[in-house]
Amino acid sequence: MGFLAVIDYDMGNLHSACKGLEKAGIKPKITDSPQDIAEAEAIVLPGVGSFDPAVQHLRSRHLEEPIKTAIASGKPFLGICLGLQILFEGSEEGKEPGLGIIPGMVRRFQSEPDLTIPHMGWNQLQFTQPNLSLWQGLTPDPYVYFVHSYYVDPVDPDVKAAVVTHGSQTVTAAIARDNLIAVQFHPEKSSDNGLKVLSNFAAMVKQQR
């Protein structure tokens, strides 16, 4: 029986992410070992905090290439919040290059009257890939929990799996490309809808066995 690697790079609330995965019926292993990433049957990259420290911590642990190799090999991969953003080429939040797995940049919300930044709290997803396995069993426009001041802006609009509207701005809330899925919201904080998302990811992992 394989295991799911939850990558530890000092930038995530690993306890809540793992608790959500366990409730979804999948056993996570917290690790910063390149060997574990190579041996895992699936990868979760959580993240809370700032872009530059995140990519610095990943590179200091020599995790960039193992992550890229795992994704390229077809393993199910789920990025959460900052774990979505660092997949991109760079961010307006910092100066470090991102992992560059997804072409595009991370942008800051534009200020507008009465707009709260960060975007924090419950908001509705609007599916742009409605048949994605991750959304199976969810009602249309489900509420999930967000905490972010920056959003991803992919070059290829087809990778967008869901969007969210904050003020007058509609931005990417999730991406999906082949085995790679990443979300801006926090499924582990999103009650039943978030648990369903994690359960669907667990089902995707089991289908790969």
Q: Is 188 a catalytic residue?
A: yes
Q: Looking at the DSSP assignment, which residues form a beta bridge with residue 42? A: 4
Catalytic residue (one of 57, 148, 166, 186): 186
pLDDT at 17: 83
pLDDT at 1: 54
pLDDT at 173: 98
Integer Cα distance of 179 and 132 in angstroms: 11
* CATH code for the domain in which residue 54 is found: 3.40.50.880
Averaged pLDDT in 10-residue chunks for the chain of 209 residues: 87 80 86 95 93 95 97 97 97 97 97 94 98 96 97 98 97 98 96 94 86
- Provide φ and ψ at 21, rounded to 5°: -65, -40
pLDDT at 16: 81
Cβ-based neighbour number of residue 41 at 10 Å: 17
Tokens representing residue 176 in the block = 């999906």
Identify the burial level of 52 via C-beta atoms within 10 angstroms of its C-beta, where 0-12 means exposed, 13-18 middle and 19 or more buried.
Answer: middle
* Number of domains present in the structure of the chain: 1
Q: Is 186 a catalytic residue?
A: yes
Identify the burial level of 143 via C-beta atoms within 10 angstroms of its C-beta, where 0-12 means exposed, 13-18 middle and 19 or more buried.
Answer: middle
Q: Is 18 a catalytic residue?
A: no
Q: Is 205 left (phi over 0), alpha (psi -120 to 50) or beta?
A: alpha
Helices and strands in the chain, H and E counts: 6, 13
Nearest Cα to 159, choosing from 83, 93, 109, 88?
A: 88
Catalytic residue (one of 57, 81, 148, 166): 81
Range of the structural domain that residue 28 is part of: 4-207
- Taking every pair of Cα atoms in the chain, the longest distance, rounded to a whole number of angstroms, is 53
pLDDT at 18: 87
